[in-house]
Structure 1
Amino acid sequence: HRGENIRLLCLSACIFVICDGCCGVSGVCRYPLGMSGGQIQDEDISASSQWSESTAARYGRLDFEEGDGAWCPEKTVEPDNLKEFLQIDLRSLHFITLVGTQGRHAGGMGNEFAQMYKIKYSRDGSRWISWRNRQGKQVIEGNRNAYDIVLKDLEPPIIARYVRFMPVTDHSMNVCMRVELYGCEWLDGLVSYNAPVGEQMNLPAYPVYLNDSVYDGAITYSMTEGLGQLTDGVCGLDDFTVSHERNGWPGYDYVGWNNESFPSGFVEIMFEFDRIRNFTTMKVHCNNMFSSRAKAFRQVVCYFRSDSDWEATPLSFSPAGDEKNPTARFVIVNLANHMASAIKCQFYFADAWMLFSEITFQSDTAMYNTTLAPPEQTPNTPPEHTPFKIFNSCLSLCFTAEDDPTHKIDDSNTRILIGCLVAIIFILVAIIVIMLWRQVWQKMLEKVSSRFESNSTYEHIFPLGPDYQEPSRLISKLGYLQIQMYLYSFALIYSYHVSCCISGSTSTSASKSTASFAVQDGVPHYAEADVVNLQGVTGSNTYAIPAVTMDLLSGKDVAVEEFPRKLLTFKEKLGEGQFGEVHLCEAEGMQEFMNKEFLFDITEDEPVLVAVKMLRSDANKNARNDFLKEIKIMSRLKDPNIIRLLAVCIHSDPFCMITEYMENGDLNQFLSRHEPEGHLALLSNAPTVSFTNLCYMATQIASGMKYLSSLNFVHRDLATRNCLVGKKYTIKIADFGMSRNLYSGDYYRIQGRAVLPIRWMSWESILLGKFTTASDVWAFGVTLWEILNFCKEQPYSQLTDEQVIENTGEFFRDQKRQIYLPQPVLCPDSLYKIMLSCWRRNAKERPSFLEIHRAILEIQS
């Protein structure tokens, strides 16, 4: 295996080197870092747990079979349980481009391996980052047997000292792993760059997204404490609208800014390094496509920081302008041997746009060897200045100065000592402030919680009028932290309402408060007092129903028959909530108990697949009353693309309502198991779905939502997880998503409970608690995006939940800094325009479901 592995590595290195898009080190930085060769010491390999001493972390070396043949975690790995990991400390920063994995063979005695895994990495041991590929996917396909070595390119590569391999499974199983990392030492020493967020260029034909899509730091108004496309080793093409990446969108390879967003005339980027270095040059790869008003920078002014202060005299450099040659190029800036641990550069615009794809530095460490012959392997040694060494130096200096009065400390040691003492003081102060802040924040949350538990309407919580107008006055009065508390308070309040709602049902206390609804911005907008709030079985929330509609329904009898419980056969529990559970069952003889308008493509004696919502027998009186109201509402919904209520069991406990269920499950899982039609699908023999059928499914969702909106019902949780798939790509909208543990990651959690599907919610829903047909339109745009991506990734997968909330603030401010979901590869411009129209800031400018339905039908035809 080892000889085959080396040949495969050499071949992959050759292929990578001839790639004209590779620049910097990515093409040649593919050498084994020492797991299989022994350069990585046993003490630098650790794990979360182990079966036994003979399957400890040190045995997780690729192509070795010492001990019992691999690292194996103590417990069986469960789905969605990422507690087990194998960790490697490389002792210094490395540029890692490739990973290899292997299972436990043990000479034929073992057969454990990881079919999938995730990678987390850290540059300092404190902040851990989840690796994602360029499409936002975290899971890496692993091994299919216990002996073959599987090599996977990391695209993007990572820059890290610590790396964790975390096995992932879709069912409970025992796993074992042997691993190797491939790359080389990161001689640049760059640990982070801070820069403004890249912007969107609107060309006549299509938008160009010039954001840093692989940045691994925090992204708000700017990018901080991370690395991304400017250090990924890939240089952009001459035409920035064309991407190297097969799945890349226009502008993908570049990070770009428009001069209109920077009144000062420059973009400031700060680079942080691992230690003080002697810098000779900086190379900036710039686009110069001047026909689109993109040029290399006109001037750069760089400031240097070696200790705590920035040097007063900056370095200035002006490259020669070029309006004849539109090719992209490296601009080399002479840094004149400045000593620094941080560099702050101000790049001045030469035209409307400035686009960078790669920035590298040459300092007192030699540049990378560009030959294919691997360098002589040497044991990894600790870097000269790690945080731990500096801290130990501080301690030794302190004790030496205290114990030996005659000991003389030179100036450099004095500076280190003073710096350490100041840092320790700041850390202590920060810890005290955080502790006090947490106490204050916890008390505020408790107050908010007690308020909405005693009275569930929004008007007593928010300092806004009953129509929830733009929060400009609120924001002008509140600081940033207070706005964050406002958002969290809303999340808690929403949590309460969602936990008390299912299928649009409502609690008795609120159902009669107001029997009218207002039309605002051209769409119905219901204050919370106008909406019926029922305590739902599973805690999910399908329809927000106007109280006036509930009043009209209240006098009608339920036209649904009682079904014998003994004819229900349990198959699987789909989900559970505060007041009950949802089960997948088979119902025998269901045709006899249903209205003639229900048609099933099965014989009469064949069982029907159904979903059963079951109320717990110990549920309180309000929950039981709400359950009956929910049945009444569901019995009135009659549309081919909405899940129908078939029968009930309410003559005895536990109360049950029986609804349709589709044999292919939910749309999210259905699409994730399929691939788009094409050559790759043929090679992998995977099941496929055509673009026409994708449009057909989207059309049905739009049709179902058109029906709900005609009744003034607001879904509030539209997503592929809440759409069920039947035969011949039939779609019906349902409401089981929130109750299923499988989708718990799709909901923003506060204090342990799922509360907000924020990645599908409009900005006004998150910031203002405003749910309308227009906010459902927004969610439809995200659902359409999921469909065109075959549900392979979560919306905004590159952003944390907090960053998603912050992005909604950008929509409110409307300063063109908001981040949109990118155009899927399979998505034509006409369909992406529909998505973008669903995400318009102004709710009244979003299309209706009738317009959406017609537009997709035209594309489909």
Structure 2
Amino acid sequence: MKALQIRHCLLLLLLTAVRTQVNPGVCRYPLGMTGGQILDEDISASSQWSESTAARYGRLDFDDGDGDGAWCPDIMAETDAGGPKDFLQVDLRSLHFITLVGTQGRHADGMGNEFAQRYRIKYSRDGSRWVAWHDRKGRQVIEGNMNAYDVVLKDLEPPIIARFVRFMPITDHSMIVCMRVELYGCEWLDGLVSYSAPAGQEMTYRGLDVHLNDSVYDGSMGLQSVGMEEGLGQLTDGTWGLDDFLHSHVYGVWHGYDYVGWTNESFPKGYVEMTFEFDRVRNFTSMKVHCNNMFSRGVRMFRQASCYFRTSELDWESQPVTLRLPVDRVSQSARFITVPLGDRMASAIKCRFAFNEAWMMISEVAFQSAGTAVYNTSPTPRKRGHPTNVLPGDDPIHKVDESNTRILIGCLVAIIVILLAIIVIILWRQVWQKMLEKASRRMLDDELSARLAVQTQAFSFHRSSQSSGDGSNSTYERIFPLCSSDYQEPSRLIRKLPEFSQSTEELAGTSSSSRPPQACGSDGAPHYAEADIVSLQEGTTGSNTYSITAVNMSLLSGKDTAMREFPRDKLTFKEKLGEGQFGEVHLCEAEGMQDIVEKDPSEAVNDLSNEVEGSDDTPILVAVKTLREDANKNARNDFLKEIRIMSRLRDPNIVSLLAVCVESDPLCMITEYMENGDLNQFLSSHQLDEVEEIQSSVKATVSYSNLMSMATQVASGMKYLSSLNFVHRDLATRNCLVGKNYTIKIADFGMSRNLYRGDYYRIQGRAVLPIRWMSWESILLGKFTMASDVWAFGVTLWEILTLCEEQPYSQFSDEQVIENTGEFFRDQGKQVYLPRPACCPDAVYSSLMLGCWRRNAKQRPTFQEIYSQLGESQE
């Protein structure tokens, strides 16, 4: 029994170690300038205006009464080519992963008005070599404060790993500048201080230049044979690449941005060698390497990793740890590979990654080490608030603790703490829910009004300016850290809003007594959000977002003509379109599908037959949705329900179900897929034929009439769905497919694709919502109707006429988008509308687009009216 407990305990420790990979979205804790954990002797400056404005007073929102509450340098030296010279320096005493900085000016209770409008940051890991921070586009200057009172928080993209940080204000030398600062992040547990590797290379893929260099590396860059030395960069920024290396998490960057890659042709020995230096000798348990595996484009994970160890400046140990991987010929998903390091002691690790294909790409490397392996025996007593990590210059004595007793005791203590934390969270949530239930509706309404009133000043767009087509950017600057006391998650705001008065429901177009029945009952199909916003885990099926509100079953009572069994061996995998919670969506070629298509009498499927030229043996491009073999009974039932409903949808502008594979696992449904892909990517690769600008890479052109024709087809498909009382809930260009001659068909693949992950807002533990396409009543009240689909059509039309050059409300964060929907609810003329596209006539924008975004759902046009109006606009 004891042995079993120890085994469970060690397993828990292993799982905890796996989760120690730094996450920039969570690593946002204040590091101690405000709270006092950073001591006065750890704060220094190049100069000070007076004793009362010394460096120790440069703490954000902190004033002990002895000074004016800020650091003010002596008369500012003029800036030169080397940048500003005055600085405020913070010593964190150990390496930290810093994701956010905050600044504030000096007001001295109304007696002062000094602040830094702009500043730069320098950082160092050893106190001798300093690096100037710059963002992912090379800009070093950070916009600071506009007054002496407000706190301005700025994300560091990319984050930095440092012990020392300097704030360097930039201003006119005749001005007095004062600063109060705070750093946000968490302790850098990896202990990695630098890595050396060959410089990333450039790939040419189908005419595209794919740059696979480490663009944020902060060390020295040499020749290809030497490469990168003594620095850190993209391999430690906490962000790993997508399955498709041509796309990135970062908007507006080049192809291949997230990866560092090398070609086999440049390495005669057949491997890439990387060296990792650490702050001290550690007991290493494993290394995690995130690799791309898109073998259809000549990229695979490494074939073998051999790691050598060094404990001092002596030679490398002769016996490496080696991991050999089998060749994955099935999945092209990028993934983390865990390399066991066998509890080897080292202060440096040299790993050789052997090629398995023409290219190898890595986006992240992380290390796990045993936390009890090293002790600091320095006689100097530890100061309050200082981390326990041993610094590079402390010359520690290394000792390995092989006792299982300490591991067991530590594990038991961790389990007890976790259980107590869970109990406290459960009790706190119960108390909080009771408090919300007792609160009156008027108090909730007042709270919302106050919340939105504060944020109103942050928006520079107004309804009148949107009508005139003004395209200026928002002046909203504040970024809330997750640990801030005044930060309120949008999910909390959403939970309160459905408690509004009955008049709110009437504005949304339905009352509580006349709500249509939902589709999650016996006849419904699975989808990502009900009227009360259902709970889903991370990742979604991406399978079906259609919902039946009050379906005209007489129109759907026909025979399931499309439910034909198709031989699996006639499906040839092309690429993975996406992956969800219950299965995957693949792009395949289907041999012999022509027979099924020609036998189907419906006009919708006959259109597909016309798409395919050649003999009956010509493979047809199809999308195959699969259900995982280990899916539970409810997931299987939902999958079969979707097949039944999809089999009865027949319209020229709706993707049709062609066949199924349900006689054995995994269950599959085979649907149409148009040869030109989704509408979003199609339009992004085109430009209007009226544009005369000559570009370096000439894009294909599309006319305005073509755009309006595509919009009309989307309206036609939605008209068909609305005639059956179907609510799509996720209408957008990413969910429309393009065929020959600009043929458009509405689908529902968008949610499952990593490419469009940024289009969905994730409410923790509740749902995944495309908030930038959703009506205000869908976001605030959870109401999804055909009128909310009309709202989404207005956004989709805006996408089409802007050729999908940017995301809707791209200047707003997700939280600001939700707050803007509150302005639609209040209807005080402060709501922000999407601007009129350059090629969009005023009549189409004012009567159609703005009509789709009317506050009162009953006043929005129907899809029949939209279809008619679009037809008239083309005449």
TM-score with structure 1 setting the length: 0.47
